[in-house]
Chains A and B, each alone.
Chain A
Amino acid sequence: MTPEEVVVAIKDIIQTIAPDEEVDGLDMNERLRDQIELDSMDFLDIVMELRKLYGVQVPEEDYKELGTLQGCVDYLGPKLADKELHCASRA
């Protein structure tokens, strides 16, 4: 997965968890929870989806790395480099 695809993957997961939120225009560097309604339970769901879809384990102490889309790319990029993108919302 390229960094661009990591963003697509994350936005796709967010869309399944928060279907009423608009994810297309999300800023890369602003905190996700400041842009859309995402609570701490939603972040747990994102972590669980990452494990289910891509086999990526995010330990609890690293949850803070997923605060922004850029943070997701930086943290998940290496872990997802050899994975294929599949979109949960269209699965």
Chain B
Amino acid sequence: MTHSDEIPRPRGERDVRYFKGSTDGKRPLTKDPLEGAASAYDLVVIGSGLGGLTAANVLGRAGHGVALLEQHYNFGGLATWFRRKGGHTFDISLHGFPIGMKKTCRKYWTQEIADSIEQLDGVRFDNPQFSFETEFTRVDFTNKLVDVFGLERAKVEAFYDELRRMDFFDPTTETTGELLERCFPGRNDVHRLLMEPISYANGSTLDDPAISYGIVFSNFMSKGVYTFSGGTDTLIKKMKAELVANGVEIFNSVLVDKIVIEESPMGERRVAGVEALGRFIAAKAVVSNANVLTTVHKLVGAAHFDPDFVAKAGKVRLNTSSCQVYMGVRDGAELPWVTDLLFTSTRPTFTSESLCDFHGESRTFSFYYPKTRPQGRPRYSVVSSTNARWEDWAELDQAAYDAAKDKLAADTLACLEGYVPGVGGLIDHVEVATPRTFAFYTEHPTGTSFGTKFEGLEVSTQLPDEIGGLFHAGSVGIIMSGWLGAANYGAICANKVDAWLYSLAEVSA
């Protein structure tokens, strides 16, 4: 079975010519993207999401010879941005991440990057069950649950303490929905407050394991929501500079075709390097920041794994994708202050499925004010995000697809109008991204924007046991997702790669 049989490719987007002379919609290559690349490295990193970037930086800094290969022309994976005519810059995932990102950036990047991380001023919920502004801290959530929802303070504290005590290595079989129902029975409004932000942050649902919820909740809904002052473009520019300073050789527009595996006469499998743009690059270790299923099926190939492992990988469920609507305010116009991050819904009650509804009534708005890029001209934009299912979008023909995108844009603008009357007159650029768009730009199967469900983590961490020198640092298992999860997973992976390279050096010494 080939990869393309197992994982559907996007329709439509592949046929569109975005660039003159392009055959697949992507920017045609005018020079050799691998110009200057060596024939061998200690380590090749495939993909420059925050996991790949962080692994590359930690290992480059540790003195290993590292090459980083990115298929897109921008580095950063879904930590990205794009520009449009009229001076618009849109950030895909900048708002927001937990405070832990400050420490992660200080340790694995630079103090300067860490120092640009700032708390959002406003986070707001607005739905038929409750409507308020929150600091997004443990203290404020506790006060809201007591004062607005009428819960006993002791019960709320007990919930927080139970989540803190959860042990990753000794998980229960309880689902998140069961946990919330046990702690706050019959309180769909409480479940909504405690679950909705997490679902938007990592695509998880009430059916996912309570342990994944507990870990993310304790990190995320604890000390506020943070952003990078200067914009995603500034962050990635600083990260690229740091990589280069640490001796990492970085290459964009390089789509890796294959991870090459060699097998010893004893049957031991090891990575030999990668194949990209018709060239072989030798490597003692390979870190894949591609999706874990892409890594197994497409980059390595099932034939190089034990059948039991392939069967286990076959049970890994991909997480959902996203729809986004990017709305740019015209140069010179001002958007009045609403809040930084708004969780809004017109649905009377909360279900996980409703966050993925094809034409959902639930969405988040990220408001980007001039403070996002204090270094530039004062500009405003709004990005709405919803979770979305590939199946809902994949098979639409071009006319139906265009109509669905137009409807999503119109619905989103109508919803925004409720918070900013007259906003339609301020906006001069509207653009829609769907799961097909995410698939096109990221090369992720079914456009997944949150990696895999929980079981993907085990497959990801077991890759080095299957094939010596093969590591994975992509978004998996719900907990290794989002900016903080991805960057930390890159650092965890780097420690394993460092141990592997050290043991190889010991053997040959």
Contacts and interface: CB of A to CB of B under 8 A. Distances in A.
Interface in B50-89: 58, 62-63
Nearest to B505: A55
B499 A51 contact: yes
A51 B491 contact: no
A41 B499 contact: no
B491 A55 contact: no
Interface string A50-71: 0110010100000000000000
B483 to A, nearest CB: 14
Contact of B107 (A17, A47, A52, A55): A17
A41 B488 contact: yes
Contacts of A51: 498-499, 502
A44 interface: yes
Given A17-B107, A41-B104, A57 B491 contact: no
B495 interface: yes
B346 interface: no
Nearest to A58: B499
Contacts of A47: 495
Given A17-B107, A57-B499, A57-B503, A41 B62 contact: no
B415 interface: no
A41 B75 CA distance: 25
Contact of B62 (A17, A48, A55): A48
A56 to B, nearest CB: 10
Interface residues of B, number: 14
B495 A44 contact: yes
Interface in A39-91: 41, 44-45, 47-48, 51-52, 55, 57
A19 to B, nearest CB: 9
A21 B370 CA distance: 36
A52 B58 CA distance: 12
A57 B495 CA distance: 11
Contacts of A48: 58, 62, 494-495, 498
Interface in A2-44: 17, 41, 44
A41 B502 contact: no
25 contacts: A17-B107, A41-B104, A41-B107, A41-B488, A41-B491, A41-B492, A44-B491, A44-B495, A45-B107, A45-B491, A45-B495, A47-B495, A48-B58, A48-B62, A48-B495, A48-B498, A51-B498, A51-B499, A51-B502, A52-B62, A52-B63, A52-B498, A55-B502, A57-B499, A57-B502
Interface of B: 58, 62-63, 104, 107, 488, 491-492, 494-495, 498-499, 502-503
Q: Which 8 A-B pairs have the closest CB atoms?
A: A44-B495, A48-B495, A51-B502, A48-B498, A41-B488, A52-B62, A44-B492, A51-B498
